Structure 1
Amino acid sequence: MTHDAPSDEENRHTVKIDAFCHIMPRPYYDRFFELDVAVHAANLRKRVSNIPSLVDMDVRFAQMDEFGDYRQIINIAAPPVEDLGSPAISKEMARIGNESMAALVRDHPDRFAGFMACVPMDDPDAAVAELDHATGELGAYGAQIYTHVNGRAMDDERFEAFYERMAASGGLLQVHPCRSSAWSDYPTEPRSRYEIWWTFGWEYDLSAFMARIVFSGVLERHPDLKLLIHHGGSMVPHFAGRVGPGWDQLGARTPEDQKEDVEGYPLTKRPIEYFKQMYVDTAMFGAANAVRCSIDFYGVDHVLFGSDSPYDPERGPGYIRSTIKNLREVGLTEAEQDTIFQGNVTRLLGLTAEA
């Protein structure tokens, strides 16, 4: 069943809280451009320098005005702080980022509903300390992490204390993909070509992260951990048959001499049920069919409006506009739309819908 799309005026008065947006506050941006960084981070530096709304709030706010009653929950844009140098640099950059985002939220509550902490995961003890500082002192509603730390899988036992503290905090843990052209498409090649590392590689990264978190028992041990997976849960809802009945046969395809590869933490539920515990955003870049698939798999109560702004071709408003349009055209009731636009995030984080 479809519903008539609301008018532009109705759209402007709909409360919308964008749960996954990127930013580089001026102090962070300036320090980022001072650092001597590796090739991948240098390439991203070139990219962010061409997106004014990441750092120029006048540009950003002018773009946001198009969407009426619209606010953002912000996080620090890629690259991860772990890619910027030593653990000491990671700690420095995380602190600059968190204090700068807290200032933006404090100074512009009508624009920013909150922020997610930047945490230096190359030093897990420091990550816990920064999480405590950002949530306890600065008012962060959770944190953002990436799908690996310098190639290290995120189910490594050294991150256990961070997940424990994150679950106890009650906040959201945003998960963002991370891969560069150095991750080749085939073992015989030195680099990925045609930006396959981004288009498909980032989605594989997210999906692999989710699977490792499930089978390593992170969600079994920490059932209160609220993971917000970027890009609609990535590959998982689109391959629900493989994730469901396929993984119910875990081990059936594995040779006897590789059995240790499928012997994870003992789980008490089907694998697919742990995937469904996660929350996802709607950042599908205007692909309404993909948004609908994510909603069908996770359910309305586990989907949060998120745009991935400002990485669209317009460098700011494009993905916000297309994501709002998607949610208006995929057959949701007005109540379901409202749940995704603001109900879920306000419920999960204890926000109020008004600034």
Structure 2
Amino acid sequence: MNLRRNISRRRMIEGASAAALATAAAATVPAAMASPEAATSGPGLPKGNWRIDTHAHYSPDVYNDYLKRYGLLGAITGAYGPWSVDRHLAFMDQYRIQASVLSFGDLQVTVGPVDDRRATARAVNDYARDLVQTRGDRFGIFAVTPMPDIEGSVAEVDRALGDLDLDGICLLTNYKGTYLGDPSFAPLYEILNDRGAYVYVHPTGPEVNPAPKLCFGPDIPAGNNVFEYTFDATRAMTSLIYNGVLRDSPNIRWHFTHCGGALPFLAYRLATRHSAFPPFNEVLPEGPLTYLSRMYFDDAQAFTAAQLQPLSTLVPADHIMFGSDWPATRHLYAADNVETMPFLKGSLPLLKAGDPEPTVDEIYSRRQRIALERTNALEQFPKLRARIRRSGSR
């Protein structure tokens, strides 16, 4: 079955130009929105809600019902607490976030029979459409797919980016040990490339769990999100690069979390393997760094100089964006964060000041910070940008 034949020519043409629209959108919005520095008072930051959060999670009832069917609801409520639109908006207002682009974390819709996963993905994305239609000035959404079901995912991508008009697609770093560069995913990348899609990749744990208890001892309930998320993102990016996905599907814009995991540290080491092992050059004679520089990243739980500076040496400044990882990080952003983490005093979000990442000021100018926390995201999400403009916000 040729899945691509089921996609209309009109939609393919629209999608192929999506990446160009992200840049062109800047010419169609008010000056205050295109240059938020105009909204600042002297050398300060913009007033009111102005940040764009590219890494935030949600858990609507339709998704909770799916998790409940498989005994997994506690995994989400334990991490997020009870999620609601009003609760999320309250957090956004506290930290001067104008809009959040919502996604699912490491479970997504990967459990259960394929028919249930397809139906759940459709129902969740329908909810997302309704939320965007009612509060599209405050929320963007990455659509979910029933991956690793390729046929169902291709159909849902076509619907989500077409009829539902959502902002992008979310995927996981691996599916039962199959990483994103696997050739079996080619039909999915064909439609994503035709659409010029923005693809947000959330890490999950590896298929072979390294048993965190071996590192932390039996009394600390450490999971994959401590270390393995960052390492699995590194595996996924390497898989995409060395299996030719970025070369063969250049219109897909890939977004990875947490300042790129371990890859900024390992990138040079990876590149030097080309001098020692000829197969590296046979597969990728141009080396990995060019492709790494094309990716986009957020700084969720990675907003200090130790994480941002290495990443900044590898990718353009406009490829790095703000991410809160809320509500999984609700304790990090709480009013008592200094009491629970006194050893991080000076590096924590400041609730009273409405500043989610004050350490950014140590390495970025105010203009650069505004780009990191606002402008860079708006350039990649023209649909969100247009909705904000229609709402009358800057």
Short-chain TM bin: 0.7 to 0.9
Answering whether residue 42 of structure 2 is matched by residue 25 of structure 1, we say no
Alignment gaps of 5+ in structure 2: 1-40, 338-347
Change in Cα spacing, 1:127 to 1:323, as seen in structure 2 (3 Å) is same
Report what 1:137 is aligned to.
163
Any residues of structure 2 matched to 1:230-309 within 5 Å, and which? Answer: 230-244=257-271, 246-249=272-275, 251=277, 262=279, 266-309=283-326
Report what 2:370 is aligned to.
338
Aligned-partner SS, 1:197? coil
2:70 aligned partner, one-letter code: D
- The CA deviation string for residues 92-121 of structure 1, in whole angstroms up to 9 with x for no partner, is 221121111221121113321x11110111
Q: Compute the displacement of 1:222 (Å).
A: 1.1
Q: Is the 8 A contact 2:105 2:203 kept in 1?
A: no
Alignment size in residue pairs: 328
Answering whether residue 150 of structure 2 is matched by residue 124 of structure 1, we say yes
Q: Is the 8 A contact 2:189 2:249 kept in 1?
A: yes
Report what 1:175 is aligned to.
201
Alpha-carbon separation, structure 2, partners of 1:65 and 1:51? 18
Q: Compute the displacement of 1:211 (Å).
A: 0.5
- Aligned-residue Cα RMSD (Å) equals 3.1
Q: TM-score, normalised by structure 2?
A: 0.74
Change in Cα spacing, 1:181 to 1:212, as seen in structure 2 (3 Å) is closer
Aligned-partner SS, 1:292? helix
Q: Is the 8 A contact 1:98 1:117 kept in 2?
A: yes
- The CA deviation string for residues 267-290 of structure 1, in whole angstroms up to 9 with x for no partner, is 352212111111111112553421
Of 318, 321, 325, which aligns to 2:358?
325
Q: TM-score, normalised by structure 1?
A: 0.82
Alpha-carbon separation, structure 2, partners of 1:21 and 1:32? 19
Alpha-carbon separation, structure 2, partners of 1:182 and 1:274? 27
- The CA deviation string for residues 28-68 of structure 1, in whole angstroms up to 9 with x for no partner, is 223322x124xxx46514524x612x3x2222222221133
1:172 aligned partner, one-letter code: Y
Aligned-partner SS, 1:297? coil
Q: Is the 8 A contact 1:247 1:271 kept in 2?
A: no
Answering whether residue 62 of structure 2 is matched by residue 36 of structure 1, we say no
1:289 aligned partner, one-letter code: A
Answering whether residue 254 of structure 2 is matched by residue 227 of structure 1, we say yes
Q: Is the 8 A contact 2:52 2:99 kept in 1?
A: yes
Aligned-partner SS, 1:277? coil
Q: Compute the displacement of 1:310 (Å).
A: 1.2
